[in-house]
Structure 1
């Protein structure tokens, strides 16, 4: 959402940069990273991970004057990439109506959209309330929970579907080499098992497209916005986001990357 301006949308407006960022986990911040966070003007960190993930790999925010908001998308024992006991599996299956022995990405996304809509709506609200001061939101790899929230925000801003899918797919460029090894190690340390290669590395645009298409099909009027409103989003949040993040297309801005 931040490397460069997305194409103009909503008439003569485009999505500006330098206010909202998505990221992977912040447990391994270096001194240089902290300097960068200060330079970017980030004042709020929204952590979308569950309690277990946070306790094993807490964000390393020492020395930073930021508000840290814990807003887990999944309940700790429902996160479908984790190794669950039989009792936990039965409890999760009863609550969600889903077979969590299937740890595929498509099932993770189905669970997120179908059962944790209020958490997603709350995440959008928090970003809308704090984006004026600079906000970063993250999960573990920065692509699934974080990717869905980013796609929802871009949709509310009027960005086209093609551009949203391109933005989501960018994640795969960073999930390789040493970074990938760190992500897989972090997942393992946090107790996340299943197909680590897929869970940690895959960001297929068609998966996000299917999620957004299914929401559009279910909510014929305004799609994502109607979905979020039904799940408790503040009705003022879309206008807050547009007011803070949309700029005239012909206005020159300093892009922070």
Structure 2
């Protein structure tokens, strides 16, 4: 396995966990290309210089937001929402009450929106498949994204595949769990070996203390951050190793899972080209 712990971080004032998916080795001896897909934590606190760097230097043209509707509306409009050349797409990976696909339209219509008190409780209970009940909690969560919101996992990858020129950034709150699963599938389609995907996932551990501190400063996430210690938030390589192993066992790999969920060979080829060609 090659070292990927340096050179891929995108150091910004307003994020802690932003990095480029370029530069990773592929099974055929190639490498993923930089400036195509980035992964990140929450983008709410980007500075003006961050926005300039992302849009003008890196060429950011699309934000793929994996947060829930409640998170987006509670956090409010981030600075990239004011940049006309950057498109925003929303694909929650957690089950929610109702259908809130027009969350950004709601935000545009009423920027002073007064949220109902129950927005913070809009998530539905997660269901755990019987054969997954013995798995560790993080593995169960990641399998839950695939089992309960597989439609939005596919939709997020489809948005990346069909983006025009310029970079896309995939993010959630921490850029660790929901972002980690979507990016793992994207990298697998690009034929990045499993061990490199796992190493990329685990890189968030390098910044976890600063990441927890950042999220703890937001009322939306503070309670969850302070109720558990930093170790419990730290990603472990064995979590992603297990998820990938289960996809191999049950579906013949991530590509097999994607094909079974409507993201077939042609779309996988488009995603592969997006990351490599």
2:158 corresponding residue in structure 1: 125
TM-superposed deviation, 1:243: 1.9
Query: Would you say the 8 A contact 1:122–1:232 is kept in 2?
Result: no
Q: Does 2:88 correspond to 1:68?
A: yes
For this pair of structures, how many residues does the alignment match?
232
Query: Would you say the 8 A contact 1:138–1:146 is kept in 2?
Result: yes
2:270 corresponding residue in structure 1: 240
CA distance, structure 1, for counterparts of residue 174 and residue 59 of structure 2? 22
CA offset digits 1:58-107 (Å, max 9, x no partner): 333244220011111112359xxxxx9xx989x636x666899xx94233
CA distance, structure 2, for counterparts of residue 219 and residue 36 of structure 1? 40
The secondary structure found in structure 2 opposite 1:183 is helix
Q: 1:74 to 1:227 in 2, by over 3 A?
A: same
Q: 1:242 to 1:62 in 2, by over 3 A?
A: closer
Correspondence for 1:143 among 176, 179, 190:
176
CA distance, structure 2, for counterparts of residue 10 and residue 3 of structure 1? 15
CA distance, structure 1, for counterparts of residue 75 and residue 52 of structure 2? 21
The secondary structure found in structure 1 opposite 2:185 is helix
Within-5 A mapping of 1:78-93: 92=125
Q: Does 2:63 correspond to 1:33?
A: no
1:49 corresponding residue in structure 2: 67
CA offset digits 1:165-190 (Å, max 9, x no partner): 1111111112213x32112343x525
1:114 corresponding residue in structure 2: 147
Within-5 A mapping of 1:9-28: 9-28=26-45
The secondary structure found in structure 1 opposite 2:208 is coil
TM-superposed deviation, 1:133: 2.3
1:252 corresponding residue in structure 2: none
Q: 1:168 to 1:108 in 2, by over 3 A?
A: same
The secondary structure found in structure 2 opposite 1:176 is helix
1:251 corresponding residue in structure 2: none
TM-superposed deviation, 1:29: 1.1
The secondary structure found in structure 2 opposite 1:21 is strand
Q: 1:138 to 1:196 in 2, by over 3 A?
A: farther
Q: Does 2:160 correspond to 1:105?
A: no
CA distance, structure 1, for counterparts of residue 242 and residue 200 of structure 2? 15
1:230 corresponding residue in structure 2: 260
Q: 1:200 to 1:71 in 2, by over 3 A?
A: farther
Q: Which has the higher contact order (CA 8 A, sep 6+)?
A: 1
2:220 corresponding residue in structure 1: 189
Q: 1:140 to 1:185 in 2, by over 3 A?
A: same
